[in-house]
Structure 1
Amino acid sequence: MSFTRFRPTSHFIAPHSWSNDPCGAVYVPETKEYLFCYQWNPGTTEGGNSAWGMAKSKDLVTWTDCSPPITNGAAGSYDQKGVFSGSIVSRVIDGKTALFLFYTSVSRLPIHWSKEYLEGCESQSVAFSTDYGVSWHRYENNPLLSVPPKRELSTGWRDPFVSPWTTLSRFLGVDEATDYMMIASGERGRGSALHLYSSNNLLGWDLCSTILEVETNTPVSPTSSFIWGMNFECASFFNIGESNYILVGIEEDIPSTRHNRHLTLWLRGEFVLENGKPKFNILSHGMLDFGILYAIHIFRDAEGRLLQLGWADESANAKTIKQQGWAGCIAHPRELYEISKPIADSISEEDIWYVDEKAGRMTALGIRPAPQISQVRDSRTQIPLENFKSIRSKNYEIKTTFKKPTGTEEFTFNVRQSPNKEELTKIIFDLANSTISVDRSKSSLENLGSSFTEIGRFTLLPDEDLDIRLFVDNSIIEVYANDRFALTSRIYPSLESLGVDYDFGGFEEENVGFWCWEGLKDAWPTRREGSVESSAEDVTVDEKGVVQVMERPIVVV
């Protein structure tokens, strides 16, 4: 199996080896560039002893590799076993811009909610850059925080997200420039928790409150189908106007049917005081992605839009992953915003909608591809519906509007389809049952990857058109609907399955707006030589056909 067989073209991906969480994204006005960091474990297709990789971009579409900002510390140090996820903030100090890279410093492994918590295994640390991310230096007084609030009862204490939270500062009557650090955690025998710290200089941190505590294996709300799991990960916060949001990754218990027992929720809430400390009272909630996406990270683009990144893990079998010599990529950046609609009585009880009876409006968190992603298209390759079935490709975008559906229709797109249809992946929009799914039961005849059907709930509002965007990029599929639904999936066709098809169930095609762009832009133009990545110089194939990745020390410049 070749290094490039299932490798995406237009998505963000590490040069080789294991990669997972996006963990530090920031726009630097002085250089007009985005810096984007991610968890990376060179030399293996397995996770664990990870540090940070980094790349830069002018447009969030094409990328250039940078030297890793920070790697494991020396033997015996507070971060000898890993530099885990975190965030980057930019501040002007004495007239000069400084970047602060906050991370979880790991001194002992393993760390998992199901295992005994090792004393001192996790702490929170920071590194600085004063040359816009070219070089980084650890703070001499690291770690900033050394002991989790629940100590040996902790199920985890990691992934610091740092930012002001203006609505909380106003609620507390403190300076709106106050910075907060949210750390995902949990307490054994009780449930998951989010600890919030505050600072006025980014170096000295005080525990503000445990702003959210939930009980293990209880429903998120009385009507919700989602259950709180065993531990929180990769949490962040923001406000849109006066609306307060938290994003949080949930580690579920063994009975979960989700990929790696992970899911990510968005929570809208209000602040209340409990014993003088702020708490987050949940008012509505929803899934950020109904598929494989996890480890959500947020940042602001050059225009101030709130963008979201996420890790698209592999769902291939272990042999497939080992043979290809790499694992994991990042889904396209997505914009988060707030949707406001007139109250629709038929669905006003759904958990994603916050209903304001007085204003006659209901609101939810919107999710759509970041506007920059339209730049991946090549206008010369736009294909109309009448020619769509002639496509032979594994890299394209589909944009479709079904005008004035009755709400009883089922629309299906087949992608990565073999000529005789023995291998294909179905993307199904079932309006009658309010679901969108990716049926992978025939995606891989040789069972190279999961055949589990990924499915999410989606309900059209009265008199609403169905607006769809689909991205197919070799092994990754992204599905969006009406700017409030997302589902990311991974597939591993065994055959040269490049065909497409569709079935609109008799829906009048004159009521279908359709656009397709084939051959999306290469995300790594400086990394490739022809069709082979230049970064693959560290990759060889042994006598058994297994891809081997050369493990090299990473030097921070």
Structure 2
Amino acid sequence: MSPVPTSTSVLPPQAVVEARTSAAVAESSQSFQKRAMRPAQLPLPQQNGQLLQDSHPSASSEDSSSSSPTLFPVTTPASSGVPSPTDEVKQADMLTQHAALENVTRSTRALFEQWRPTSHFLGPHGWMNDPCGPSYDPRTRLYHLWYQWNPNASTWGSICWGHAYSYDMIHWTSRPYPVIEPGSNHDSEGVFTGCVLHRSPLGTAAEAAGTGEMTAIYTAVSKLPIHHTLPYNFGSEKVVLSTSKDGGETWVPHGIVLDGPPEHLDVISWRDPYIAPWPVLDAALGRTDQQPGLYALIAGGIKDTTPTIFAYSIDPTDLSQWTFVGMLADVGRNHKAAPYGVDLGKNWEVANFFTICDTAGPASAEYLLINVEGCTEPGPARAAVYMKTLPDVQRDANGEIRLQPAHVGLLDHGCLYAASSFHDEQHDRRIMWGWITEDDLPEDYYNTQGWAGLISLPRELFHHPTSTQLGIRPAQEVERLRDGAQHICITPSDQAATTVVELAEVDSLGAISVDEVASRSYEVEMKLSAGQPGVVVAHSSDMATRTVVYVTDSQLVVDRSLSAGKEAVLAKGLKVNTSTLRAPLAPTTDGTHSLRLFLDNSVLEVFVDDVIALSTRVYPDPTDVGLSILRSSHAQHADLAPVNIWQGLSKALIA
């Protein structure tokens, strides 16, 4: 086996990365020999009767987040029986082809950029889904994010790991090629979700952390399809381990850790390992007098019985040594959990565990983060969920450990899924990212636009001082999106409503247009009340196209019923989901609610009272950039608080 070249620095210099060739990356596994610099393939539609190919969009362009491919038509050689044209005809032909190519390139670039966000992290092109291995490296003070990526198409398949790193979780350097790819053996069908530890797989915690290595532990897939509704093929999902010595740029596979789930259990899925110390499980296993243990969760389900989490104890000095501890949950299928009746589905994916401390005192609470699928109507089919557990770990009749839910809620009331979290030791807090899906567009349009999916803004999970719910808010670093933005402050009491907005649940509303806003790139921060219940975003000049975000006495409402663009959606017959989304609101002492709203082209993230998060997508026309403040005709002067807007949020991708 030939050794994998490593860099003495944790992150290789840009020049080294860009100059790297397949000869310089002679790796020890066939699955890693493909990682030479090369243009990734972005399937694109036929336009004007021509099939298009591409080269990779530049990662260092002026606006890398919206960079688009350079396109070349695939032409068929002329038949040998056709007479050769004159030079004059050839020249005219070339000019015509060049003009046609420029038109096609502009057209395809417009489709690529039409709804593409610029202030969220997303892959260079193609399909992306789960965030993987989110983490902080104290040696380099860098945040790392790997993610599920298909660089060969804008639909799911051939799943690899992409990689990006950042000093602030907002501005990212994105690698233009996959860093872990399917091979020819146990991962031939995909490299699925997992975690990354900033240590080597061998040695004590201190010894392992001092090596500068990273260890990735993830699901390797050798047979598809895999779905909780299909018969499970034992061995199709394995836990494997790889290491990196160059900051996550190249990885050396170290083989299989687990061949499959416990054989005595009739599982329907088993994937997405997550690893961390867990004092609660130390106590449950009677290990309080020993060194802190290391534990892994793998999410899945038991056929016709329950979704669950498979728990393993790991030797802290050898991360390849795992011992099955048991199933931590037996909630039954489609259990409606208190207090909100959240459907816990039939199967779980991407599970984390963590402790949230009360900053005002010694109290703490234990949480599971789970992503549930197989939910029943009328709710969504899948959701990102948190579960606060009872403080005392219980055992069932067979003596197996069971975590009992005390409080279950949604981490997001919209389209965010595959949520994953990590402990940010730099600031001693819990940070979460999630996958904001493209589900509201028809799947056959994904390849037309050349990309699908993105990562949410980073969110902090915390102990809320006045609510029983888990606190959730934009991480403090999100304010860095305001750097260089235009700050607009509106005092609605000094403004006249120019448009009437009719909503079924709120009477007599006018809209105050914010004329300074001329884009779909902004943050809004304001107090919501009966007199000033919300905003209208991404609206046309006549309000015929619009998305309305507002509160009632008991709900946050995001009305997307008129959000589809006349030209980009309706005229093309695209079947876009424009359903209205809702989230329950708890009453407040003064009757007001705090709102932070981020619009990034087609991406809308809404946060209310630091307990409600809602992510969704809207697909208006390019000219639908209006922003208006809702005001009740019954509003008193005291009801109308100033509204702060930051227009022109900074770009997420810096390289």
Q: TM-score, normalised by structure 2?
A: 0.72
**What letter matches 2:451 in structure 1?**
W
Match of 1:316 in 2: 441
CA shift, 1:228, in A, is 2.6
**Structure-1 residue corresponding to 2:490:** 385
Aligned residues: 493
Cα distance in 1, alignment partners of residues 275 and 646 from structure 2: 38
Alignment partner of 1:69 is 2:179 = yes
Match of 1:279 among 402, 419, 435: 402
Equivalent residue letter for 1:196: A
Which deviates further from its counterpart, 6-15 or 63-72? 63-72
- Could you list the runs of 5+ residues in structure 1 that have no partner in the other structure? 342-352, 354-362, 527-557
1:294 matched to which residue of 2?
A: 417
Correspondence for 1:305: 429
The one-character-per-residue Cα deviations of 1:472-510 (angstroms, maximum 9, x if unpaired) are 000100000111110000011135201111213243455
User: Offset of 1:253 from its aligned partner?
Assistant: 4.7
Residues 176-205 of structure 1: per-residue CA shift (max 9 Å, x gap): 531111111111111211111011232201
CA contact (8 A) 2:215 2:241 kept: yes
Amino acid at match of 1:476: V
Equivalent position of 1:250 in the other structure = 372
Tell me which moved more, 438-447 or 416-425.
438-447
Letter in 2 for 1:364: Q
Aligned position for 2:533? 411
1:520 aligns with 2:649: yes
Contact kept, 8 Å, 2:160 with 2:182, in 1: the verdict is yes
How many angstroms does 1:49 deviate by? Answer: 2.5
Aligned residue number for residue 470 of structure 1: 597
1:339 equivalent in alignment to 2:464: yes
Secondary structure of the 2:543 match is: coil
Q: Distance in 2 between matches of 1:111 and 1:509?
A: 58
Counterpart residue number, 1:429: 551
Q: Distance in 1 between matches of 2:223 and 2:285?
A: 37
- Secondary structure of 1:116's aligned partner: coil
AA paired with 1:71?
A: E
2:387 aligned to which of 257, 267, 276: 267
Match of 1:134 in 2: 249
Name the CA distance, whole Å, in 2 between partners of 1:441 and 1:167: 46
Structure 1 residue 218, shift from structure 2 partner: 2.7
**Change beyond 3 A, Cα 1:151–1:4:** farther
Computing the radius of gyration from Cα coordinates, the structure with the larger value is: 2
Q: 2:308 aligns with which of 171, 179, 193?
A: 193
How far 1:257 sits from its partner (Å)? 4.1
**Which ranges of 4 or more aligned residues in structure 1 deviate by more than 6 Å?**
none
- Of the structure 1 ranges 165-174 and 106-115, higher mean CA displacement relative to structure 2 is found in 165-174
Q: Distance in 1 between matches of 2:117 and 2:312?
A: 39
1:256–1:147 Cα change, 3 Å: farther
CA contact (8 A) 2:344 2:375 kept: no
What is the identity, as a one-letter code, of the residue corresponding to 2:635?
F
Q: Separation in 2 of the partners of 1:268 and 1:207? A: 23
**2:485, 2:648 within 8 Å by CA — same for their partners in 1?**
no
Sort the Cα spacing of 1:146 and 1:63 in 2 relative to 1 into closer, same or farther, 3 A: same
Q: Residue 485 of structure 2 contacts residue 650 of structure 2 at CA under 8 Å; is this kept in 1?
A: no
Q: What is the CA-CA distance between 1:168 and the residue it aligns to? A: 2.6
Query: Which has a greater percent of strand?
Result: 1
C-alpha separation between the residues in 2 aligned to 1:44 and 1:151? 38
- Alpha-carbon contact 1:435-1:457 (below 8 Å) kept: yes
- Between the aligned partners of 2:300 and 2:310, the Cα distance in structure 1 is 7
Deviates more, 1:497-506 or 1:229-238: 497-506
User: Which of 214, 220, 223 is the equivalent residue of 1:105?
Assistant: 220
Report the CA distance between 1:238 and its aligned residue. 0.3
Cα distance in 1, alignment partners of residues 310 and 485 from structure 2: 51
Cα shift at 1:225: 2.4
Distance 1:251 1:84, change over 3 A: same
In structure 2, the CA distance between the partners of 1:421 and 1:463, relative to structure 1 (3 Å rule), is: closer
State the SS of the aligned residue for 2:533. strand
Match in the other structure for 1:6: 115
Deviation at 1:3, TM superposition (A): 0.8
Give the C-alpha shift of residue 464 in structure 1: 6.1
Contact 2:484 2:648 in 1 (8 A): no
| Structure possessing the higher relative contact order (Cα contacts under 8 Å, 6 or more residues apart) | 1
Distance, in Å, in 2 between the alignment partners of 1:509 and 1:520 is: 31
Alpha-carbon RMSD across the aligned residues, in angstroms, is 2.0
Q: Secondary structure at the match of 1:39?
A: strand
Mapped contact 2:239–2:260 kept (Cα < 8 A): no
Task: Provide the rounded CA distance (Å) in 2 between the counterparts of 1:167 and 1:513.
Answer: 46
The 2-side partners of 1:16 and 1:508 are apart by 49
SS of aligned partner of 2:283: helix
Residue 236 of structure 1: aligned partner: 352
3-state DSSP of counterpart to 2:445:
helix
Q: Compute the displacement of 1:262 (Å).
A: 1.0
Residue number among 318, 323, 343 corresponding to 1:227 in the alignment: 343
Task: Verify the 8 A CA contact 1:377 1:517 in the aligned structure 2.
Answer: yes
Aligned-partner residue type, residue 243 of structure 1: A
Shift of 1:410: 6.8
Alpha-carbon distance between aligned partners in 2 of 1:307 and 1:55, rounded to the nearest angstrom: 16
In the alignment, the residues of structure 2 paired with residue 169 and residue 463 of structure 1 have an alpha-carbon distance, to the nearest angstrom, of: 44
Q: 1:143 to 1:231 in 2, by over 3 A?
A: same
Q: Is the CA contact 2:342–2:410 (under 8 Å) kept in the aligned structure 1?
A: no
